[in-house]
């Protein structure tokens, strides 16, 4: 191949990847998977200059959870996106990056790919998928709730079906509802979630404000055994602030204090001149640590290290339950304050 043809081939290759990047940025959708086209930094927040969570190797798959502002980097215009790392991803050291690690990256280096066909594991308990179609996901969810002052007017209407064809009943304070299933419905860009319930002699549907199982919240990710203790690790995506009397909080290589090692330190909010320190949470232990203050262990990735922080030192800067566990979310949505 002569030099002219080589230059032409290289130019066409560069153009191909540029078109891929533009196409990806123009078709960004929440809930869609993309593949990393070049080694890509995952950051704690939007824009260059923020702490690096990890550097993903080209070929890693990520799922877009939020779409942020546009920016031009390396002459590529695209959005910053908040993503979740999918299974079998690796970093530039060729180490496996845990499924569920989250962070912000520049979408200009993402390209379209096939959607991951991950069947979430809920051990046949709440959250287990009963059936799916093009438009509807039905999940098992068994829970009894007493209606209280937190239930909004729209959440007190019991419909005959998910099309809201007929009102069967309007819930009153202290009514007992039996939740049987949760339905997530999507038509075009319109998304809805309903609980299938029984109240008195009525079987019907109540519209939810949000889907408590969005992106398979609270699915089982793995089990970790440390000594004689086995921890069930479940996905939990939310933001919590770090609060402690000491300047830092320990980041450990596994849940619990016994048989685990400190692998890093997370600074506490408003200590040593820090502002509020917020962490993007990735996972939570189903079990509480009874040897401590009866709280859960929380998985985060901080300063390039994925580890565990004790939940006692983390706080939700909002109303509602500390952890967005589906049962707790529904208790707060329908119950008493």
| pLDDT at residue number 17 | 47
pLDDT per residue as tens digits for the range 132-148:
988 999 999 999 999 99
- Residues 148 and 336: their CA atoms lie apart, in Å, by 4
The two three-digit tokens of residue 114, written as one number: 């096939």
| pLDDT at residue number 11 | 47
| pLDDT at residue number 330 | 97
| pLDDT at residue number 189 | 72
- As a residue count, the chain comes to 337
Residue 69 burial (10 A CB sphere; 0-12, 13-18, 19+) = exposed
User: What stretches of 208-271 adopt beta strand conformation (E)?
Assistant: 220-226, 229-242, 248-252, 262-267
| pLDDT at residue number 308 | 98
The gap from C-alpha 135 to its chain's centroid, in whole angstroms, comes to 21
| pLDDT at residue number 303 | 83
| pLDDT at residue number 23 | 43
- Residues 19 and 37: their CA atoms lie apart, in Å, by 12
The two three-digit tokens of residue 298, written as one number: 């929380």
State which residues of the chain have pLDDT below 50.
6-26
| pLDDT at residue number 47 | 58
- Give the β-pairing of 110-112 and 33-36: antiparallel
- Residues 53 and 43: their CA atoms lie apart, in Å, by 5
| pLDDT at residue number 6 | 45
């Amino acid at each position: 191949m002569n030099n002219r043809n080589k230059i032409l081939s290289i130019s066409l290759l560069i153009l191909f990847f540029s078109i891929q990047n533009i196409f990806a940025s123009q078709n960004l959708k929440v809930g869609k998977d993309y593949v990393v086209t070049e080694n890509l930094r995952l950051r704690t927040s939007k824009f260059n200059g923020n702490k690096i969570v990890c550097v993903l190797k080209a070929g890693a798959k990520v799922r877009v959870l939020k779409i942020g502002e546009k920016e031009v980097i390396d002459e590529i215009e695209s959005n910053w996106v908040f993503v979740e790392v999918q299974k079998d991803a690796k970093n530039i050291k060729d180490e496996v990056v845990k499924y569920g690690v989250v962070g912000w990256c520049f979408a200009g280096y993402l390209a379209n790919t096939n959607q991951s066909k991950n069947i979430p594991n809920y051990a046949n308990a709440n959250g287990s998928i009963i059936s799916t179609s093009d438009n509807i996901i039905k999940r098992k969810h068994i829970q009894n709730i007493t209606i209280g002052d937190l239930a909004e007017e729209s959440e007190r209407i019991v419909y005959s079906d998910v099309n809201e064809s007929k009102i069967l009943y309007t819930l009153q304070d202290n009514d007992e509802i039996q939740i049987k299933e949760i339905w997530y419905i999507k038509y075009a860009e319109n998304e809805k979630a309903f609980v299938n319930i029984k109240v008195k002699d009525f079987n019907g549907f109540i519209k939810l404000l949000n889907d408590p199982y969005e992106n398979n919240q609270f699915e089982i990710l793995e089990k970790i055994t440390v000594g004689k203790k086995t921890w069930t690790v479940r996905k939990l995506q939310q933001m919590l602030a770090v609060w402690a009397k000491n300047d830092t909080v320990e980041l450990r290589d596994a849940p619990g204090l016994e048989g685990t090692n400190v692998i890093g330190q997370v600074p506490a909010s408003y200590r040593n001149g820090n502002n509020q320190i917020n962490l993007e949470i990735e996972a939570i232990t189903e079990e509480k640590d009874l040897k401590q203050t009866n709280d859960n262990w929380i998985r985060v990735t901080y300063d390039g290290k994925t580890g565990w922080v004790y939940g006692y030192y983390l706080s939700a800067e909002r109303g509602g339950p500390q952890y967005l566990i589906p049962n707790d979310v529904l208790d707060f949505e329908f119950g008493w304050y």
